[in-house]
Amino acid sequence: MMRFGLFPFIFSTFISSALGAPNKNEWQIVWADEFAGTGHPDPKKWGYESGFVRNAEKQFYTTKKLKNARLENGHLVIEGHREFSAAAHLPNTPSKKLPKIEYTSASLHTKGLASWKFGKIEVRAKLPKGQGVWPAIWTLGVNIPQVGWPSCGEIDIMEFVGKGPEEIHGNAHFRQHGKHASDHKTCKTKDIWQDFHTYSIEWDAKFIHFTFDGKRYHSFRVAKAKTLSGNPFHKPHYLILNLALGGTWGGKIDNSIFPIRYLIDYVRVYQKK
């Protein structure tokens, strides 16, 4: 878990007072990004995934490309584009074997920069609308290089799939009896892409509670993920914000939607005093 000195404590106290923590007597902000300014996201807080990463998704995640990830009007803009090229910058790849790119997007993470065990993670965002969009707010255990997925644990604070009904998804992934297991629930919505909404979890040693605009719609009992080697939800996780396109869940992509924007107003992480 991260350690904080005097300055972050003063900063978190100020932010908690100015922005209104969920309960000032119980929570204090330990990490936040309000996405002020312009240009690239803060490199002290965010890194990037790169390339074709998972789930047979169609987008190529770019690194430090303003077209796909930038600060603008007080928001983090993650923008998907339809653009054709070859992944020429992939190292040690013969030109004849370079993957063809049809879509680009971005996936930002705090891996190696910030991680937390327990607390409240709150993100205010405006989701994109369209067939094939798959925006998400989620976490992975920092020990994924050592134990792999799903043994590291995954918390899906929010997933939205444009091809499906108007609902968001909250989920926990883990390994149980040697196999992948999950605990999932949906929250029905209407015209969710028309405005900003708040997606959050409250996470402690016993439960992960999922909320939408402050209303709880799912509670996962952490003990379900207990194994002989420990519980992945009793260990630190890092945060990921991404806009996927197509893939195993996103489905067919409507090419008329591009460019498509996923806007994040803020990310705030609280822990109990």
Active-site residues: which are they? Answer: 154, 159
Residue 219: which residues within 8 A CB-CB, separation 6 or more?
207, 208, 209, 210
Q: Which residue has the tokens 């149980």?
A: 176
* H-type alpha helices, the chain: 6-19, 144-147, 247-250
Region for residue 215 given its phi and psi (left: phi exceeds 0; alpha: psi -120 to 50; beta: otherwise)? beta
8 Å CB contact between 104 and 81: yes
8 Å CB contact between 200 and 190: no
Burial class (CB in 10 A: 0-12, 13-18, 19+), 36: exposed
Query: What tokens does 210 get?
Result: 């999922």
Rounded to an integer, what is the distance from CA 198 to the centroid of its chain? Answer: 13
The type of residue at 68 is: N
For residue 208, the cross-strand partners are 203, 220
Query: Cα dist. 163→64, 188, 229 in Å?
Result: 29, 14, 38
8 Å CB contact between 244 and 59: yes
